[in-house]
């Protein structure tokens, strides 16, 4: 009888371990799916920018061959993609006009995982957000500590609060 009990306990432990591993892998899969979707979006934007720049180069080449006056060839002014458009296509102004907490909330929601303030700062800067203050990392961490949408889950590591997740689903 004791042998049977030991076998059952061992099986329960294995089942529990397999369930935990399964849940971990599912979380990893969701994170990878999110990352794949983001990379796919950036790839599409980069391809669009490439097409715009290639078309601009073709137009410049053609216009220099077509437009002439009494003085000879006069190239047409080529419409340039503005710096702002280029930044939008490259994702460099994704968070412009947003506050640090608004942008960080968007980043954490898209990532579906807690993040260290250093990683959040890097993404905010890549997204074109200007961080004021002498120490941007401290500014980010402080603004998230003061906002009830975030909870501190480790040293300078933040996640979206569970309440926010539940109300966002409803």
pLDDT, one tens digit per residue, over 28-41 is: 999 998 889 888 88
Considering only residues 104 and 92, tell me which one the structure prediction assigns the higher pLDDT: 104
Is 127 within 8 Å of 103 (Cβ atoms)?
yes
Instruction: Give the mean model confidence (pLDDT) for residues 15-35.
Output: 93
Instruction: Give the mean model confidence (pLDDT) for residues 68-89.
Output: 50
Pick from 94, 92, 103, 113: nearest CA to 35: 113
Is 125 within 8 Å of 89 (Cβ atoms)?
no
What's the mean per-residue pLDDT of the chain? Answer: 81
| pTM for the model | 0.46
């Amino acid at each position: 009888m004791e042998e049977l009990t030991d076998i059952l306990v061992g099986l329960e432990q294995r089942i529990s371990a397999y369930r935990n591993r399964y849940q971990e892998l599912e979380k990893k899969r969701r994170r990878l799916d999110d990352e794949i979707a983001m990379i796919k979006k950036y790839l599409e934007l980069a391809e669009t920018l490439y097409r715009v720049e290639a078309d601009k180069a073709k137009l410049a080449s053609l216009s220099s061959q077509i437009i002439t006056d009494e003085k000879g060839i006069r190239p047409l002014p080529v419409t340039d993609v503005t710096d702002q458009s280029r930044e939008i296509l490259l994702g460099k102004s994704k968070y412009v006009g947003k506050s640090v907490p608004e942008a960080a909330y968007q980043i954490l929601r898209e990532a579906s995982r807690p993040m260290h303030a250093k990683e959040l700062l890097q993404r905010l800067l890549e997204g074109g957000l200007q961080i004021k203050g002498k120490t941007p990392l401290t500014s980010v961490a402080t603004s998230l500590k003061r906002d009830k949408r975030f909870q501190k889950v480790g040293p300078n590591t933040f996640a979206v609060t569970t309440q926010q997740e539940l109300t966002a689903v409803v």
